[in-house]
A and B are shown apart, each in its own frame.
Chain A
Amino acid sequence: DQQVKQNSPSLSVQEGRISILNCDYTNSMFDYFLWYKKYPAEGPTFLISISSIKDKNEDGRFTVFLNKSAKHLSLHIVPSQPGDSAVYFCAASAEAGGTSYGKLTFGQGTILTVHP
């Protein structure tokens, strides 16, 4: 049972345009969500996160939106740059109650390609 799903295996975008990566989850206990970026032969690198008490979080060109009623989050990259080409993973954690011990559940990943 895949509790976090990224239904688009790949996304291709022109440089300067917006990239929108989507993620759906099924576990209503998830209350902390993260996006990681991964280049080949490297480990995932933290990009941005959002707590369930918010519906939007911005950091420079990156914005994450959370729709709790739809159990959906998205990552917007504006403007997209060729260096953004990587695999993007969304992840979720159930932190309330203190029993998750920080465990993350990951989506399958989306390969983003930004063309010059």
Chain B
Amino acid sequence: NAGVTQTPKFQVLKTGQSMTLQCAQDMNHNSMYWYRQDPGMGLRLIYYSASEGTTDKGEVPNGYNVSRLNKREFSLRLESAAPSQTSVYFCASVGQWVNQPQHFGDGTRLSIL
């Protein structure tokens, strides 16, 4: 049982390049989330998908787009990468919102030069 799988694990981009981060969960969860983790700032929500077919902005959505491809997959796209987007990106999922913890993938470490 893989849980939440993120690809790639590492990536180096040049400023202005585009990239899609992939996330898939095999727990039949309804809701999925993208967070970024920066030193001293904890995890901050970028976008979320409360259910298949819906997406919405989180706390720090600028510079990103998302696609909920199906119930299993939720991708995060950087259209024109900037050095400020250098971070570790985590995908998470949860089956129901009430009193249930989110399950996280192992992250994608992204460096933008």
Contact = CB atoms under 8 A, between A and B. Distances in A.
Contacts, number: 69
Residue in B56, B92, B99 with the greatest tally of chain A CB atoms within 10 Å: B99
B21 interface: no
Interface residues of B, number: 28
- Is the contact region of chain A dominated by helix, strand, or loop, or is it mixed? loop
B103 A51 contact: no
Given A42-B106, A104-B45, A34 B97 contact: no
B101 A101 contact: no
Interface centre among A89, A100, A101 (most CB of B within 10 A): A101
Interface residues of A, number: 29
B105 A106 contact: no
User: Closest 4 A-B residue pairs measured CB to CB?
Assistant: A43-B104, A106-B42, A102-B97, A46-B101
5 contacts: A32-B99, A42-B106, A46-B103, A95-B97, A106-B35
